[in-house]
Amino acid sequence: MKSAEEQLSTYKSVHLNPKNIRTHFVGVPLIIWSLFLLLNIIPLNFAVANDPVITFNLATIFTVGVLIYYFLLHARLALGLTLFIIPVLYTSSLVAQTPNALWIAVAVFFVGWVIQFIGHHYEKAKPAFVDDLNQLLIGPFFLMAEVYFMLGMEKQLLADITPLARDKRRALEAARKAA
């Protein structure tokens, strides 16, 4: 597994423009919420012998898995992400009970991605997930890191990832010019 520094520097390499980062503070949460809504719509029922059926949904299972991944990467950032994800899980589960939940999820998902691509227009760089699908999970992790940085926390992490991100960006631009 790549380190938090490696993951964040890769993501940051195509998120250096402040306008792009601001669009991500809107687009990424919208996308996350819409995905949680979609996952909340899918129930999973478990029955053991004659016991009552236990119902979960994919959103709950996904939350546990993703938070374990985040805690393995960086416990302090994962704590912040936990505080973000719990209300997302709760509110999306409420909306999942409405008749138009699927259409709401699709609409919010679409709006979130439009905002993302507007940001990448400012950045003049393709989204990080194009080259590495794992970067889809790093988007929220990156934004939480940015929140910590704005609050003056995790200064060493910022100092570690910023030069790596700039080096990666220069390499990307050199490869693009050579092509």
Q: What percentage of the chain carries pLDDT values higher than 70? A: 94
Q: Tell me the mean pLDDT in the region 89-115.
A: 96
Asked if the structure places residue 176 within a domain, the reply is no
How many structural domains comprise the chain? 1
Phi first, then psi, for residue 29 (nearest 5°) are -60, -35
Q: What is the pLDDT of residue 49?
A: 66
Phi and psi at residue 54, to the nearest 5°: -100, 125
* Residue 100 pLDDT > 80: yes
Mean pLDDT on 74-89 = 96
**Residue-level pLDDT at 48:** 67
Write out pLDDT tens, residues 22-81.
Answer: 999 999 999 999 999 999 998 777 766 666 667 778 898 999 999 999 999 999 999 999
The string over 133-147, giving b where at least 16 C-beta atoms fall within 10 Å of a residue's C-beta and e elsewhere, is: eebebbbbbbbbbbb
Whole-angstrom distance, CA of residue 91 vs CA of residue 53: 24
Q: Judge whether 8 and 161 are in contact, CB under 8 Å.
A: yes
The residue segments making up the domain with residue 36 are: 4-171
Does 133 map to a domain?
yes
User: SS3 of 154, please?
Assistant: coil
State the pTM of this model. 0.88
Q: Decide if 44 contacts 61 (C-beta within 8 A).
A: yes
